[in-house]
Structure 1
C-alpha cells in the first residue's frame, strides 16, 4: 500500500489571479513540487499569486527558497505574491531569515 503523500498542492487559476494551497510538509523532497506549482501560475501571467498556507504543518529552508524563487519571478513579471494564513512554523522561518518584508502577508 503506498504511503500518503506528505504534501498536496492544489492550484486554481482564475483570470489574473491564482491560488496555490499546499497542505502537509514542505521540505527537501516536496519543495520542488511547490516551486513548480508556483512558477506554473506565474507562467500563466497571473497578476496576483495567492498562497494559502493554513494547512502547512512543516516548512524548512527549501520551502522558503520556493517562495523566494516565486517572488523573484513575480517581480520580473510585475506580479504580486501574497501569503495567507501563515502558520507559526512559516512565520518563524520568515522572521528568523528576515524575509517577511519581501511578501505581502495577510
Structure 2
C-alpha cells in the first residue's frame, strides 16, 4: 500500500493574496485536508486566493470536487481565485473535465498573484 500524503499550507503573500500551497497527492484520502484549508481561507474581495499546485503529483475526481468547491466559495464571497503551477498532465485532465471553463489558471505563483493584484489595489 502506498503512503499517500498531502501537505496544505495557507500563507499570506505580502501583496495581500492568500496562498494555499499543495504538495503531494490530492485524492479521496487527502481531500479532507484541502477541504478544511478552503474553509479556513479568507476568500474576501480584498483577500483573493491562489491555490498553488506546483508540488501536486496526483489529483483524482475527489480533488477536482474540492477545487470546484473552492471556486464556488470564491464566487459566493465575490473573491478572486487563481490556480497556479499545473503541470501539463494535470492541465490536460482539468481541460478534459471542463475546469478550464470555470477556473482561472496561471503557469506560476508569481503570475497568479499578478492576476489578482488589480482586484485588491485601491
TM score, norm. by length of structure 2: 0.75
After TM superposition, the structure 1 = structure 2 runs for residues 64-103 of structure 1, keeping only pairs within 5 Å, are: 64-103=64-103
Secondary structure in structure 2 of the residue aligned to 1:100: helix
Secondary structure in structure 1 of the residue aligned to 2:86: coil
Secondary structure in structure 1 of the residue aligned to 2:62: helix
Which aligned runs of 4 or more in structure 1 are off by greater than 2 angstroms? 13-16
Superimposed CA distance per residue, residues 6-37 of structure 1 (whole angstroms, 9 cap, x where no aligned partner): 11111103574200001000000001111111
Secondary structure in structure 1 of the residue aligned to 2:28: coil
TM score, norm. by length of structure 1: 0.85
After TM superposition, the structure 1 = structure 2 runs for residues 1-106 of structure 1, keeping only pairs within 5 Å, are: 6-14=5-13, 16-42=16-42, 45=44, 47-106=47-106
Secondary structure in structure 2 of the residue aligned to 1:8: strand
Stretches of structure 1 that go unaligned for 5 or more consecutive residues are none
RMSD, aligned CA: 2.0
For these two proteins, the number of residue pairs brought into alignment is 103
Stretches of structure 2 that go unaligned for 5 or more consecutive residues are 107-122
